[in-house]
Amino acid sequence: MPPDTTRQQATLERATELALSFLGSLDAAPVCTTTPLAELRRRFAQPLPDQGVDPVTVIDELARDAAGGLLGTAGGRFYGWVIGAGLPAALAADWLTATWDQNAGLYACGPAAAVVEEVCGTWLKDVLGLPASASFALVTGCQMAHVTCLAAARHAVLARAGWDVNRDGLAGAPALRMLTSSEVHGTTIRAAKLLGIGTSNMVVLPSDPASRMRPADLRDALAGEPDRPTIVVLQAGDVNCGAFDCFPELIVLAHGAGAWVHVDGAMGLWCNVVPELRHLLAGVELADSWATDGHKWLNVPYDCGYAFVAHPEHHRAGMAHRASYLVHADDVRDQLDWTPEHSRRARGFATWAALRELGRTGLADLVERCCHHAHDLVTRIGALPNARALCVPRINQGLLRFYDPRSGAMEEDHDRRTDAVMATINATGEAFFTGTTWRGMRCMRVSVSSWRTTTNDVDRAVAAAAQVLRTFP
């Protein structure tokens, strides 16, 4: 039986009603999930029907069965991981993206999608303070941005050693190495695995007390194997304390040894839009590649990340492919020449809409607000009994630890107390935080990146923390 196209409008109208109802409930709804795993599986894991179901009914069932299993990441009281919320224009553009259903792999498949990505690349390099000559790619997130950038890096450093990795692969190639600090994010490690670099070829240099790579350590590591193809990974806003490496000194050292410098700027690159924070990024433009996210501080819907490469020839060499059945033209930009994906969602539409909605001043205001709210959360909760701020935010990331006041309490007791307090705060539904282990200590991370977060949201989180701490002996 052919599909009933007359039901499409009713289905989309119903989806709109449900979406608006969800967004309207965010301030009152618990941030945490309330439906256990077993119940979610029971709801969804029904036998596949032999006959199709009316599309409006399908959407109603989906919303009904997902209820209680959705985190409040779209609201203003979610402070876990680093997750933004969809700006109004970006969310609406994402709806249109799904409606238009363009395959944004080739210009020929979606000319508007290709041109919008070109514009987004120009705008993003401008607001992030990166070289206008850099190439770029819109990808799923910082994970694939790292893969894209490090593929270019792999090609470049092996080419300097006389090895064509595209033709000959990695078998028999000069052994690559990657130098990082102890603040390296897991997505960089995964990228090293995916690209065949391997974790045994990653050298983790201990960070200084401010969570930055020490120039002396990098100098010694570079000098230890001066002829080895090397990639250096630096941090622009690490995930725990928002620390920034000293880019001018470290990049000069790395380049002097022939190394490629990649910057993980998932959050921190956005600080360039705030004049008072721009000094944190001094010299970052000297690097060879940069990765960041759109679904964090730019607040576009999941998923979206951005890769930038200062050497387009190595970027393209790491990604491009030609096939007889594909339609190419010399005067257009085909996205698949710059990204790991062949079939792609047209992520540029939501990015374009977010940047248009905010403008320069709106983007700066968003970043400043998040930094202010993060500082407020950490300092106020840290001032409560048996709480301590271990890392007061310089940007939007901070750390808290909760202490067991009993005589003779050990570090492991404080670890358990920290996890227990955090879990109890989350269970109130008033706020949601996630944990980390930092310098051997369990901590509650505070991350603020949502455009929706208000002073009232912060007040509610602090009040919930105070109430929870009063219940602990």
Confidence of residue 327 (pLDDT cuts 50, 70, 90): low
What is the predicted pLDDT for the residue at 5? 78
Mean pLDDT along residues 348-357: 98
Query: SS3 sequence, the chain?
Result: CCCCHHHHHHHHHHHHHHHHHHHHCCCCCCCCCCCCHHHHHHHHCCCCCCCCCCHHHHHHHHHHHHCCCCCCCCCCCECCCCCCCCCHHHHHHHHHHHHHCCCCCCHHHCHHHHHHHHHHHHHHHHHHCCCCCCEEEEECCHHHHHHHHHHHHHHHHHHHCCCCHHHHCCCCCCCCEEEEECCCCHHHHHHHHHCCCCHHHEEEECECCCCCECHHHHHHHHHHCCCCCEEEEEEECCCCCCCECCHHHHHHHHHHCCCEEEEECCCHHHHHHCCCCHHHHCCHHHCCEEEEECCCCCCCCCCCEEEEECCHHHHHHHHCCCCCCCCCCCCCCCHHHCCCCCCCCCCHHHHHHHHHHHHHHHHHHHHHHHHHHHHHHHHHHHCCCCEEEEECCCCCEEEEEECCCCCCCCHHHHHHHHHHHHHHHHHHCCCECEEEEECCEEEEEEECCCCCCCHHHHHHHHHHHHHHHHHCC
pLDDT of amino acid 473: 80
- pLDDT, tens digit, for every residue of 147-160? 999 999 999 999 99
Q: What is the mean pLDDT of the chain?
A: 96
Record: fold of 92-355: Aspartate Aminotransferase; domain 2 (3.40.640)
User: Domain residue spans in the chain?
Assistant: 10-77, 92-355
Percent share of the chain, pLDDT over 70? 98
Average pLDDT, integer, range 104-133: 97
pLDDT tens profile 233-279: 999 999 999 999 999 999 999 999 999 999 999 999 999 999 999 99
Instruction: Tell me what pLDDT residue 6 has.
Output: 80
Tell me: pLDDT of 215 over 90. yes
